[in-house]
């Protein structure tokens, strides 16, 4: 499968990204104390389907033996940094932070994005964690250009986060996207020799997604539901993600963040 996309495919992903941003924005606007996780999921799915898209996470299986993912949106609260189940009746509380990770298929191609937002008034440390995670994502976007290396993205992200002392999740990384939900190459948020050197080519579409832990520990565990990824130290986790297209004219965010 090609690592790159044609201009025509990128245009389709641009349309998909606009719809995805609209769906995520609708869910984010609904976030407040007393709203259930399932209500957020159901609204986002409604917007996707009304726009002609299909959820890419609903029914997703990482491998043939996996249990299919049961919701359209991954909704993660507090120490759940990613992959929280969106079909839960759990109600959000004042002071929570909630991550919403969402993907869709439109015209045969998929896009992917995520934000973490406050529920009512949250602590200063939670606010800073979300701000730094978002800014780290943008540093990665700025570092992506034709002829550069995937390592440049990892280095820009890590260097921005380090002075703040947050843990950069290592078990999960960004990835190529478009023809499949997850494609090569891996796009880590930290520099590691464990990942092969990959040059960024014209037409690459990448999902960049830093995940940070407030407590400084990068380690995570899988919850009993088999999907939710939680910070091992129990601290707050934050996650932001955009899909980008890297072209000769520059790098474009195909999934504009709604907030």
* CATH code, domain carrying 126: 3.90.230.10
Residue 209 assigned as binding residue: yes
Is residue 58 in some structural domain? Answer: yes
Q: Is residue 182 annotated as involved in ligand binding?
A: yes
101 carries a ligand binding annotation: yes
Does residue 108 belong to any structural domain of this protein? yes
Query: Per the domain annotation, does 70 fall within a domain?
Result: yes
The strand pairing partners of 105, in sequence order, are 54, 110
Percent of the chain with pLDDT over 90: 94
| Per-residue pLDDT, 66 | 84
> Is 241 annotated as contributing to ligand binding?
yes
**Triad 192, 140, 81: Cα angle to 5°:** 75
**Residue numbers of the domain that contains 167:** 7-253
Helix locations, 121-233, DSSP H = 124-143, 150-161
- Are the CB atoms for 140 and 208 separated by under 8 Å? yes
Does residue 159 sit within a domain?
A: yes
**Residue pLDDT, tens place only, 86-125:** 999 999 999 999 999 999 999 999 999 999 999 999 999 9
Look at the chain and report how many structural domains it folds into. Answer: 1
pLDDT tier, 64 (very low <50, low <70, confident <90, very high otherwise): confident
Is 145 known as a binding-site position? Answer: no
Say whether 65 counts as a known binding-site residue. no
On whether residue 69 sits in a domain, the answer given is: yes
How many C-beta atoms lie closer than 10 Å to residue 113's C-beta?
28
What is residue 216's predicted lDDT score, i.e. its pLDDT?
96
Longest dimension (CA), the chain: 48
Is residue 1 over pLDDT 80?
A: no
- 54 annotated to a ligand binding site: no
Q: How confident is the model at residue 63 (pLDDT cuts 50, 70, 90)?
A: confident
Q: Does 1 reside within a domain?
A: no
**Would you say residue 66 lies in a domain?**
yes
Least reliable range by pLDDT among 31-35, 192-196, 199-203: 192-196
């Amino acid at each position: 499968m090609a690592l790159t996309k044609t201009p025509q495919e990128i245009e389709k992903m641009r349309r998909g990204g606009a719809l995805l941003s609209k769906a995520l924005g609708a869910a984010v606007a609904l976030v407040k104390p007393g709203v259930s996780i399932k209500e957020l999921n159901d609204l986002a799915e409604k917007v996707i389907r009304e726009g002609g898209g299909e959820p890419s996470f609903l029914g997703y299986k990482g491998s043939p033996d996996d249990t299919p993912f049961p919701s359209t949106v991954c909704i993660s609260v507090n120490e759940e940094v990613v992959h929280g189940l969106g079909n839960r009746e759990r109600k959000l509380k004042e002071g929570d932070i909630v991550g919403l990770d969402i993907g869709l298929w439109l015209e045969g191609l998929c896009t992917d994005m995520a934000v973490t937002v406050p529920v009512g008034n949250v602590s200063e440390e939670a606010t800073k964690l979300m701000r730094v995670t978002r800014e780290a994502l943008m540093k990665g976007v700025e570092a992506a250009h034709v002829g550069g290396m995937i390592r440049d993205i990892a280095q820009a992200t890590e260097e921005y986060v380090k002075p703040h002392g947050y843990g950069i999740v290592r078990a999960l990384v960004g990835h190529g996207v478009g023809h499949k939900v997850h494609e090569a190459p891996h796009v880590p948020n930290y520099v590691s020799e464990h990942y092969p050197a990959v040059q960024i080519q014209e037409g690459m579409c990448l999902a960049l997604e830093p995940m940070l832990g407030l407590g400084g520990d990068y380690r995570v565990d899988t919850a009993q539901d088999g999907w939710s990824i939680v910070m091992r130290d129990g601290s707050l986790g934050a996650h932001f993600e955009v899909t980008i297209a890297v072209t000769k004219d520059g790098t474009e965010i195909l999934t504009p963040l709604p907030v």
